[in-house]
A and B are shown apart, each in its own frame.
Chain A
């Protein structure tokens, strides 16, 4: 059974179609959800949480209907909102315990689970301090902790690294990865940062203008291409010319030479020519597809150009 499934899911806000006949299926794993601003990501998350009803079509989470079985769904779904939503004047322990109690956990279990998840997200002695005095990174951890406290089967994270500096981002990404693997739960990460998605997710869902644009394993987008990139400190023009004169299809791109791999003998040509021309060799690497290309090839009216 698919964890999350939508069929013909449509949501209109007046004349604006946020979702338009969206069909998708989410299998267990860590899933990246990308899309242009206004593509319908937030609307989709809100429908899955049962906060919004679709105009038409339906969505299910673990086989449960998001309209009729909202309460049952909330028991198995954890949600980390994007916006700042934490009360400033309570400590993390009190807040997360409160959220656990709201989810229906008995008092003792709520306390125990809170201690556990706060340790998991890396909040220790500071958990008794008021949240208002926390750094952005600490607040993000509290948001994640409250999403996890009732032991959900599906976790929905909306821009979990927003506002974090590079080390804060790395820690949060690592935490998301561990949460997915250690707890064995499905995590849906909505993000604009494709590099981040590539780092933690195994599967990508891209939506655009309310439709499904792409759904495939990340590896599908980052496959090796039959092109070899050779980067040199200088003399890329001479290397490209020499490769071409040997019959290779080569093209210079800045200080790189891109050359089609037609046979393994090409590797020897590259090595010999770099040696003959005495060029300082920086890199030899088979080119890979990039997630970014998904957005480069099809510019829409909403883009800057």
Chain B
């Protein structure tokens, strides 16, 4: 995926192999409500987090990719084809919807098996069993879904979406309702699938979790794509926001004097928690910090880049 910050620009270069997901000026409106507004991006293998405030259009985007909705304008392609009303593409897509609605009277095994039959699999029983094992629900697979906890319902939905081993996996808030252990296991599962060459797009509100799964993100704000790519690369493009590095040392005042003399630094502040150093050239500053400390004869105790996190990038893009 190419990194982009400006929502208007179309990805300039396409990867050599055809991307699994490709949108070109895609839009979707409901009456006068514009849910998705002129979005272009492409995704290849790997895992990507889809972020944005409530109402940004994340679910509409996922539903267009899953073939539920046709774009009102522009094109949406999954594995080179339009997914809308295209069952041959459905065979390659797994979707975990946000809604918790799963037939309460079915057992977990039957639910997953029906999904396998829906996808026309030759051995629905074997496929269902394998998918259930992947999410660790074997013990509960013969119980009715109505008796499941929220985390178990989420996992049975994931099993249902994985049963036909799709190339593209779309998940809408998959971690909702999962407990810490289940979250960790689900993250590992997504990582494994991405490592096996699948294309995974998942929406989430929990930025710490997205950061743990991967660094590739799509950020939507009010129906538009605010940014896409590796969030660290996006951070580097935000040139109007200087980088702040916090440094604790054996002698902050002495280090401040030395750092101030360096051209990469434009402000240094003494705070109770150490030095707050502002730089516009983060890469260059990172190369001189250790050497400058040595020539000042100061011991470096802690170096932190507080505003390099996904949360900081997200805040900037959403403008909160």
Asked if A and B are interacting partners, one says: yes
Q: Which residues of A contact B (CB under 8 A)?
A: 34-39, 135-137, 162-169, 192-195, 233, 264, 267-268, 270-272, 274-275, 278-286, 292, 294-296, 299-305
What CA separation (Å) do A299 and B52 show in the bound complex?
32
What CA separation (Å) do A271 and B293 show in the bound complex?
8
Determine whether the beta carbon of A304 is less than 8 Å from that of B318: no
Checking B149, B181, B300 against A300 with a beta-carbon cut-off of 8 angstroms, the contacting residue is B181
Cβ of B104 within 8 Å of any chain A Cβ, yes or no, is no
Checking B136, B177, B302, B320 against A302 with a beta-carbon cut-off of 8 angstroms, the contacting residue is B136
- Give the most central of A38, A272, A275: most B CB within 10 Å: A275
Checking A34, A36, A137, A270 against B300 with a beta-carbon cut-off of 8 angstroms, the contacting residue is A270
Cβ of B92 within 8 Å of any chain A Cβ, yes or no, is no
Determine whether the beta carbon of A286 is less than 8 Å from that of B180: no
On chain B, the residues within 8 Å of A164 by CB distance are 54, 205
- Give the most central of A282, A295, A299, A302: most B CB within 10 Å: A302
On chain B, the residues within 8 Å of A285 by CB distance are 302-304
Determine whether the beta carbon of A233 is less than 8 Å from that of B286: yes
Determine whether the beta carbon of A165 is less than 8 Å from that of B53: yes
Given A274-B290, A282-B305, A304-B189, answer yes or no on A37-B150 (Cβ-Cβ < 8 Å).
Answer: yes
Checking B54, B182, B205 against A37 with a beta-carbon cut-off of 8 angstroms, the contacting residue is B182
- Give the most central of A36, A37, A38, A168: most B CB within 10 Å: A37
Residue of B nearest to A232 (CB): B286
On chain B, the residues within 8 Å of A169 by CB distance are 205
On chain A, the residues within 8 Å of B320 by CB distance are 167
On chain B, the residues within 8 Å of A286 by CB distance are 302
On chain A, the residues within 8 Å of B305 by CB distance are 282-283
Determine whether the beta carbon of B301 is less than 8 Å from that of A267: yes
Determine whether the beta carbon of B180 is less than 8 Å from that of A295: yes
On chain A, the residues within 8 Å of B182 by CB distance are 36-37, 302-304
Within 8 A of A (CB), among B41-56: 52-54
Determine whether the beta carbon of B180 is less than 8 Å from that of A34: yes
Within 8 A of A (CB), among B174-189: 176-186, 188-189
What CA separation (Å) do A282 and B235 show in the bound complex?
14
How close is B252's CB to chain A, nearest CB, in angstroms?
14
What CA separation (Å) do A178 and B320 show in the bound complex?
21
Determine whether the beta carbon of A281 is less than 8 Å from that of B290: yes
Determine whether the beta carbon of B185 is less than 8 Å from that of A280: no
Q: Which residues of B contact A (CB under 8 A)?
A: 52-54, 135-136, 139, 149-152, 155, 176-186, 188-189, 205-208, 283, 286-287, 289-291, 293-294, 299-305, 311, 314, 318, 320
- Give the most central of B291, B304, B314: most A CB within 10 Å: B291
Q: Per DSSP, are chain B's interface residues mostly helix, strand or loop, or mixed?
A: helix
Determine whether the beta carbon of A192 is less than 8 Å from that of B294: no
Checking B54, B185, B302 against A135 with a beta-carbon cut-off of 8 angstroms, the contacting residue is B54
Given A37-B151, A165-B53, answer yes or no on A275-B290 (Cβ-Cβ < 8 Å).
Answer: yes
Residue of B nearest to A206 (CB): B180
On chain A, the residues within 8 Å of B139 by CB distance are 301-302
How close is A283's CB to chain B, nearest CB, in angstroms?
5
Report the tally of A-B residue pairs with Cβ distances under 8 A: 127
Checking B135, B178, B304, B314 against A166 with a beta-carbon cut-off of 8 angstroms, the contacting residue is B314
Determine whether the beta carbon of B294 is less than 8 Å from that of A275: yes
Determine whether the beta carbon of B179 is less than 8 Å from that of A304: no
Q: Which 3 residue pairs across A and B have the least CB separation, nearest first? A: A304-B185, A280-B286, A274-B290
Checking B150, B206, B290 against A271 with a beta-carbon cut-off of 8 angstroms, the contacting residue is B290
How close is A34's CB to chain B, nearest CB, in angstroms?
7
How close is B129's CB to chain A, nearest CB, in angstroms?
16
Determine whether the beta carbon of A305 is less than 8 Å from that of B136: yes
Determine whether the beta carbon of B283 is less than 8 Å from that of A299: no
What CA separation (Å) do A179 and B152 show in the bound complex?
33
On chain A, the residues within 8 Å of B291 by CB distance are 275, 278
Checking B149, B294, B318 against A272 with a beta-carbon cut-off of 8 angstroms, the contacting residue is B294
Checking A168, A268, A275, A284 against B302 with a beta-carbon cut-off of 8 angstroms, the contacting residue is A284
On chain A, the residues within 8 Å of B206 by CB distance are 193, 195
What CA separation (Å) do A34 and B178 show in the bound complex?
12
How close is B24's CB to chain A, nearest CB, in angstroms?
28
11 sample A-B contacts, Cβ–Cβ < 8 Å, listed by A number: A35-B179, A36-B182, A166-B53, A192-B183, A195-B206, A264-B299, A275-B291, A278-B287, A284-B302, A295-B184, A301-B139
On chain A, the residues within 8 Å of B302 by CB distance are 284-286
Excluding A36-B182, A162-B176, A166-B318, 4 further A-B contacts by CB distance (< 8 Å) are A37-B179, A164-B205, A278-B287, A285-B304
On chain B, the residues within 8 Å of A305 by CB distance are 136, 185, 188
How close is A137's CB to chain B, nearest CB, in angstroms?
8
How close is B305's CB to chain A, nearest CB, in angstroms?
6
Checking A167, A270, A275 against B318 with a beta-carbon cut-off of 8 angstroms, the contacting residue is A167
On chain B, the residues within 8 Å of A136 by CB distance are 54
What CA separation (Å) do A286 and B286 show in the bound complex?
19
Residue of A nearest to B154 (CB): A37
Checking B178, B287, B299 against A280 with a beta-carbon cut-off of 8 angstroms, the contacting residue is B287
How close is A122's CB to chain B, nearest CB, in angstroms?
15
What CA separation (Å) do A282 and B179 show in the bound complex?
32
Residue of B nearest to A268 (CB): B299
What CA separation (Å) do A300 and B149 show in the bound complex?
16
What CA separation (Å) do A163 and B55 show in the bound complex?
12
Checking A162, A270, A304 against B135 with a beta-carbon cut-off of 8 angstroms, the contacting residue is A304
